[in-house]
Amino acid sequence: MTPEQHTAQECQDMKFDNQKPASPDKSSVEVSPSDGPATGEVPEKLIENAGTIDDAVDDGKHNTQETTQGAANGDSVEAAGDAVFDDLTSRLMTAEQQVEEHRAGVLRLQAEMENLRKRSAREIENAHKYGLDRFVLELLPVKDSMELGVAAANGEDVDLTAMREGMVLTLKMFATAMEKFGVEEVAPVQGDRFDHERHQAISVQEDKEKESGAVLVSVQKGCLLNGRLIRPAMVIVNK
């Protein structure tokens, strides 16, 4: 055997020795009774660890449920918040619409009141200007009758009887026109009791045959307008 072959053989022997399993040491594999239970028994530590694992699993499930429930509650709260927001938005829009309607109503009412004020002022002005138009229409026939009487009096052949009758008719027309507008005469006659509210004494005379305070002479007639005295009657009263 050559030296090279001898060296190769030694290398193979060393590899073979390394591949052999090491023989176990009895002292190292012996298990004392204090190190663990016999075969077939579950160590107490393993049982405790298993219980701890189960608790951890339960806690994890509980936490997962709480997380899921919290997420659901969060979604419910968010949905409720959205519903409240939508309701408030709807109420706000309704309120704004009502405000606009009320504002338009107020503006329309103000315009109507302004038109009413102007119309009332115009009617009052027209009443002041043309309030006597009906009264004037009633007096125009009286004026026409008086003009005819004056024209007849200027003629050559004047009939006093006819003129007198015309004047009486004219006076009646005038009295009728006055009555239509609430004008009444206050015409006391001799012997009437003196009325302080409707008569005005311009003189006092003594007549033993008459009662004291009686009207002796009516100098001028008075006048009432719708029951209100506008001119008292002028009279002479007995002492």
According to DSSP, the residues that pair with 86 across neighbouring strands are: none
pTM for the whole thing? 0.49
According to DSSP, the residues that pair with 238 across neighbouring strands are: 205
The residue to which tokens 């006391």 are assigned: 188
| C-alpha dist (Å) from residue 174 to 141, 145, 185 | 9, 10, 12
User: pLDDT tens-digit profile of 138-168?
Assistant: 999 999 998 988 888 887 777 888 888 889 9
User: pLDDT tens-digit profile of 2-59?
Assistant: 444 444 455 455 544 444 444 444 344 344 444 444 444 445 544 455 556 656 556 6
Taking the CA atoms of the chain, what radius of gyration do you get in angstroms?
Answer: 68
Query: DSSP states of 134-195 as a string?
Result: HHHHHHHHHHHHHHHHHHHHTSSS--HHHHHHHHHHHHHHHHHHHHHTTEEEE---TTPBP-
